[in-house]
Structure 1
Amino acid sequence: MPRVSTDRLAARRQQILDGARACFTRHGYEGATVRRLEEATGLSRGAIFHHFRDKEALFLALAEQDAQRMADIVAEQGLVQVMRLLVTAPETQDWAGTFLEVARRGRTEPAFREHWAAHAEALTAATRSRLERQAAAGILRDDVPVPVLARYLELVLEGLASYLATGRPTDGLAAVLDVVEHAVRR
């Protein structure tokens, strides 16, 4: 039996994650049935679950990947930029649906919330690190501690995500995000 290259396995795994992301975003965790996952990925359940133990493992791998992508944006451009991308180009931010589903499951499933806490810390750490660099450069206001500013930005992000999830209009949100950004700067 021929061996499959590591690159091919990684590509297949990413194909599954990309299809699953679309499926979870469209149908939510509960609505993303195995049949829908097969349709979204173009693969059989055997192919999907060869790479992932079960639907939960698939969702967690996807959520971890998306959290890292968000943390990378935060490290480079800041948490407000994540929010701007959600508002101005949601179709290019395919991690937004995963973010919303993680928030929902974290609210309703204690075991998931406990498991996810370590991964959520990566976004918090990236936010704090960037804010500390900005504070050292004299860009941030100095009357509020960095951890408070980080928590403020995280709460705004979560509120924005909830707002967007309801399908409400996005006009005027760029100006709101300008206010958020100015609230943390000197």
Structure 2
Amino acid sequence: MPRVTEDHLAARRRQILDGARRCFAEYGYEKATVRRLEHTIGMSRGAIFHHFKDKNTLFFELAHEDDERMAEVASREGLIQVMRDLLAAPDQFDWLATRLEISRKLRNDPAFHRGWSERSAVLSAATAERLRQQKEAGRLRDDVPGGVLQTYLDLVLDGLVARLAAGDDPENLSAVLDLVEASVRQQG
């Protein structure tokens, strides 16, 4: 039997992830059934779950990829730039609309909550570090603790994702981000 190369395995994982992203974007988390995942990805459940333990693991891997990509931007340019990138290319993040239904699972499913928290820690850490640096540089308001600023920006991100999913006008949302950015800057 021929040996499967690492490149082949990596390509299969990528194919699974790309198909799963499309499936979650089209159907949402709950309705992205295993049958729909098989159809969208073009592989059997055995092939899919050979690479990923279950649907949660597959979803978490997508969330982790996005969080890492967003964390790179957040550490260089801040979380507001991450949101501007979402507005500039919403099709690259369209599956994130599933975060709306994820919030229910986060409240009611402790195992799902743990998995989500572990995988979204990268973006939180990058945001916290960027806020710390900006505060030390005197660019952020000093009358609000960093943790409060981070929660505020996280709420704005969640709201932005919800509004994009609802089809809001990106120009209006961009103006809102201008307002948010002005609200966290040091006045002077």
- The answer, yes or no, to whether TM exceeds 0.5 is yes
Where do residues 1-186 of structure 1 align in structure 2 (5 Å cutoff)? 1-94=1-94, 96-97=96-97, 99-186=99-186
Q: Which amino acid aligns with 1:168?
A: D
User: Structure 1 94/166 Cα, relative in aligned 2: closer, same or farther at 3 Å?
Assistant: closer
Q: Which amino acid aligns with 1:75?
A: S
Cα distance in 2, alignment partners of residues 150 and 122 from structure 1 = 14
Q: Which amino acid aligns with 2:18?
A: D
1:98 to partner: Cα distance: 5.2
Cα distance in 2, alignment partners of residues 30 and 57 from structure 1 = 14
> How high is the sequence identity, in percent, across the aligned residues?
56
- CA-based RMSD of the aligned residues comes to 2.0
Q: For structure 1, list consecutive stretches of 5 or more residues without a partner in the other structure.
A: none
Q: Any conservation in 2 of the 1:86–1:96 contact (CA below 8 Å)?
A: no
| Secondary structure in 2 matching 1:143 | coil
1:110 to partner: Cα distance: 3.5
1:118 to partner: Cα distance: 2.6
Q: Any conservation in 1 of the 2:135–2:141 contact (CA below 8 Å)?
A: yes
Cα distance in 2, alignment partners of residues 165 and 147 from structure 1 = 27
Q: For structure 2, list consecutive stretches of 5 or more residues without a partner in the other structure.
A: none
1:167 to partner: Cα distance: 2.5
Aligned residue pair count:
186
Q: Any conservation in 2 of the 1:84–1:177 contact (CA below 8 Å)?
A: yes
Q: Deviations over 1:139-167 (max 9, x none)?
A: 11222222211111111111222222223
Greater Cα offset, 113-122 or 21-30: 113-122
Q: Any conservation in 2 of the 1:66–1:95 contact (CA below 8 Å)?
A: no
Q: Any conservation in 2 of the 1:25–1:101 contact (CA below 8 Å)?
A: no
| Secondary structure in 2 matching 1:172 | helix
